[in-house]
Amino acid sequence: MFTTPAEIYEHSFRVHSALPAVQEDARSFTYRDLWVWSDAVMRQLRGLGLVSGDVVGIFAANRAEWIVGESAIARLGMVRTPANFMSALETVAYQLQYAEAKVLLTDYDLGTALLPHLPAEGGPVLVQLSDPQGRSIPGAVPLAEMPGEEAEPDRTEHVVDPDARSGIFFTGGTTGRPKAVAHTARSAAAALYIQMVEAEISAGERMLVMTPLAHSGGALAAAGIGRGAHVRILEEFDAQRSVDLLREEAITWTFMVPTMIYRVLDLLDAQSPDGTPEAGRAVLSLRTVVYGAAPMSPARLAHGLRLLGQVFVQLYGQTEAPQFCTRLSKLDHDPARPELLASCGNPSLFTEVRVTDDSGAEVPRGELGEITVRTPFALTEYIGNPEATAEKFWDGWVRTGDMGVMDDAGYVYLKDRRNDMIISGGFNVYSREVEDVLSAHPQVAQAAVIGVPHPDWGEAVHAVVVPRELPEDTGSPTASAPVTGASPLTAEALLAHSRDGLARYARPKTVEFADALPQTPFGKIDKKALRAPHWEGASRQIG
C-alpha cells in the first residue's frame, strides 16, 4: 500500500499514461501530459531554491494547474497550502503569512487582486499561471510550461517521509481567525484512498468538478486522478451549464453542495413538466452524486431520489478529519427507509465514530453528545496553537464540535454545531431539526434557523427562508413539483406548517424571507453572518 500522495500520483501517471486525465472548456490533458508538466514544475520549484518541507501556496481559479502543482509539491516532499478563491483577500494573505509560504502559484486576476495585501518584502515569490490575454503580474515568474511531445517523463520514484508534514489547511474561521490544520503525507494518502472507495470513484470515471479546488472538490479530483478517472473541471457552478454538461458529456460522477443540488433539481423540474423520474434522468449517465459541506433536508433529498434515482452518497467530515468520517451510501438513500435520509450515515472505512459527553465518555445509543472520531487521516496539530490542539483531542479521538446521536445500527444523526444550539426558555433547540421541518414545505428551497435575543426567553427561534421558484401551473401537480401556481409563501403559512412537527418551544417565533442564504467559502451556510445584525450590541453573542 502506498503511504504518500507522491507514490499515488506517480503510480497513476505510469499506469494510466495514455488515458485522458483533465478537461477544461478549452484545454484537455492526458496522464502523460500531467506527468511531464509535473516534472517541469518540480524543476522550477527546485530552481527557486525550495527544498523538502518548504511551503507552497496555491491561489487560483479552477484549472488543470491545480493538479499539476499539487502533484509536483507532493513528489518533492514539500508542503501545500491551498487558498480558496472565494475567500476574502485579507484572509488569504493571513493564511499565506501564517503558513510561511515561500512560493505562491496564482493566476493573473487573483494574484493581481491579492498583491496589495501581501508584504512588500519577505512575502512569497509569485509564480503566475498562463493568462489567455497575455497579462503578467509585476514581478511574478511564469509557471513552467508543459513540455512538448518529445519530453520523456521522469520515472524516478520520489521517496517522501510518510510522517513528514505535507499540507497546511485552514478552518472556515466562522468563530474567529482560521486555525492552521497540519496533515502528514501518510494522513493525506489515507484520505485519498478513503475517497476513492467511499465516493465510489472508478477508473475511467467521468467526473464533473465545479466547486473550488482548494476545498472538497480538489480533494475528490485528486482522488480521481489517483484512480485513473477523467476529471472535467468547470471554473464555477452554473446550474444550466451543469445540466448541459451532465447531458452532453456523459458525466458519470459529480460532487455538489446541497444548494447546488437544489438548483439543479429545480431546473430539471422546470424542464420536466410531467414530473416523471425518467424525464429528469433518461438523458443522464449519472451513477454517483456525492454531496457534503452541509446536510440536505430529507424532503429535498427525497425529491432528488425521485428525479435522479438512487445515485446519492453523503460525506461527513471536516478539515481536521477530511471528507469521509461517515458516509451515507447509495443503498442507504432508500425511499423505503425514509428515516435514514436524516442521517449522515455510519462510519467509513478505517474510521471509528462515537458520541461522547463533556468528559469524553461514550454515551448510550440514542443519547445526545458530541461526535468524536478516530481515523488515520486526522490532523496532527493546529500549528502554533497548542491549547486548541489539546482541546481538539481526547486520547487520540478528534472532537468534531458537532452534536448528534447514534442509533443501534450505528447511523449518526447530526443535531447541531455545538455553537449553533439555541437555548430558548431553558430548552435546547437544535436548528437542524427545525430546518428539516421548514424545508419539508413544498414552497421552501432553503431554510436556516438561528437564535436571536429575546427579553423573556433569552433566545428566540428565528428562521431565514429562501422561497422555492416553482414551475408554472400545468394544471396537474406532480410528485417532483408538489405545488404549482401557488400563492406566495407567507410567514403565517410556515408557522402553521411547523406546528405538527415541532415542540412549541422549537417553533420559529419570527420568519424573514431572503433571495439567498450567505455562505462561507466552503459552501456552508454562514450563520455568523445571519446572527450578526440581531446580536449587535447585545450582552451575549453566540459562537
Is the same domain home to 265 and 409? yes
User: Does residue 458 fall inside a structural domain?
Assistant: yes
pLDDT at 371: 94
Of 87, 26, 92, 31, which Cα lies nearest the Cα of 57? 92
Is the same domain home to 262 and 324? yes
Amino acid at 444: V
Is the same domain home to 107 and 155? yes
CA distance 355 to 361: 8
Domain end call among 354, 384, 418: 418
Beta strands in 70-185 (DSSP E): 79-82, 101-106, 125-128, 141-142, 165-170, 180-184
389 with 381: CB under 8 angstroms? Answer: yes
- DSSP-derived 3-state class of residue 530: helix
- Name the pTM for this structure: 0.81
45 with 76: CB under 8 angstroms? Answer: yes
User: Does residue 154 fall inside a structural domain?
Assistant: yes
Of 427, 428, 446, which Cα lies nearest the Cα of 438? 446
Is the same domain home to 287 and 430? no
Is the same domain home to 431 and 453? yes
Is the same domain home to 411 and 266? yes
Distances (CA, A) of 224 to 22, 35, 58, 144, 453: 10, 15, 19, 24, 47
252 with 224: CB under 8 angstroms? Answer: no
User: Does residue 330 fall inside a structural domain?
Assistant: yes
Torsion of CA 125, 126, 130, 135, to 10 degrees: -130
Is the same domain home to 121 and 139? yes
Is the same domain home to 505 and 433? yes
Is the same domain home to 401 and 514? no
75 with 34: CB under 8 angstroms? Answer: no
User: Does residue 199 fall inside a structural domain?
Assistant: no
**What are the two backbone dihedrals, phi and then psi, of residue 101, each rounded to the nearest 5 degrees?**
-65, 130
Q: Which residues of 309-340 are buried (b: 16+ CB within 10 A; e: fewer)?
A: bebbbbbbbbbbbbbbbbbbbbebbeeeeeeb
Domain containing residue 495: CATH number: 3.30.300.30
Give the residues of the chain that fall short of pLDDT 50: 471-485, 539-543
Domain containing residue 396: CATH number: 3.40.50.12780
User: Does residue 216 fall inside a structural domain?
Assistant: no
pLDDT at 119: 92
pLDDT at 482: 38
User: Does residue 202 fall inside a structural domain?
Assistant: no
3-state helix, strand, coil in the chain (%, to 5): 30, 25, 45
Is the same domain home to 107 and 248? no
Domain end call among 370, 391, 418: 418
Partners of 450 in beta bridges? 462
User: Does residue 212 fall inside a structural domain?
Assistant: no
Is the same domain home to 268 and 353? yes
pLDDT at 276: 57
User: Does residue 320 fall inside a structural domain?
Assistant: yes
Number of domains in the chain: 3
Enclosing domain of residue 431: 421-535
Distances (CA, A) of 344 to 173, 246, 288: 23, 26, 17
Domain end call among 183, 202, 219: 183
Q: Where are the alpha helices (DSSP H) in 322-400?
A: 386-392
CA distance 494 to 439: 10
**What are the two backbone dihedrals, phi and then psi, of residue 65, each rounded to the nearest 5 degrees?**
-60, -20
- HEC profile for 285-325? CCCEEEECCCCCCHHHHHHHHHHHCCCEEEEEEECCEEEEE
Is the same domain home to 451 and 391? no
Distances (CA, A) of 50 to 6, 104, 121, 471: 17, 12, 18, 57
